Structure 1
Amino acid sequence: MVEEKNPPIDLNDPDRQLQVFRALANPTRIAILRFLHNGPCCATLPCVKLGISQPNLSRHLQVLKEAGLIDYRLQSTQHCYFICRPSLLRPVFALLAEQHPYRPCRKPEQH
């Protein structure tokens, strides 16, 4: 991850809170953040690794960027994305790393 150089996000602002939580509320965006947690990468690599189309990836990257969670640098002609606020995402990654036992819900029996 890259050192934090961006101004802090004002999480006291309810609209900003909502924007960040909405960005985190999508499994594809969580997968993208997990992918970027390993280090910066250019936009074409997650398409291959995550099995999503370039337009779909671009839309998810834009949501994460607008929420202030990621940013990018131009390398040649490619956008290379990175997590720009690692301290904000540290608790999220800690939560994702915990091993929670999975117990599927029982379907109610039909009579």
Structure 2
Amino acid sequence: HVYPEVFQVWHVLSSAGTLILAVAYIAPLVYLPLSLLKGRRATANPWGATGLEWSTPSPPPPGNFDSPPTVDAAPYSYPMPGRAASDQPAGTERHDDDA
């Protein structure tokens, strides 16, 4: 099919957009099976969150906790990079694999 010359630019842009969308749709179809078969398992608390929901295993056992949990830090008391460990509340040490 031959497009009129006046629409040639739009035809090329449309074709390029189609190619970009095709790659975007195919990429998850490739990466999902790869991550399911060869991906690393997530740790119990990968972000070092301080909330109670991260204090129990997943899926949680009946009752969640054997005894009432003790809260020793605010829910958003994440350690700051470059901050001395003595300035941070107890139990909020940061363990970065990249650092």
TM-score, normalized by the shorter chain, greater than 0.5 = no
Q: Which has the larger radius of gyration?
A: 2
Q: Structure 1 length as normaliser, TM-score?
A: 0.23
The structure with the greater share of residues assigned to helix is 1
Greater relative contact order: 1 or 2 (C-alpha under 8 angstroms, separation 6 or more)?
1
The structure with the greater share of residues assigned to strand is 1
Q: Structure 2 length as normaliser, TM-score?
A: 0.25
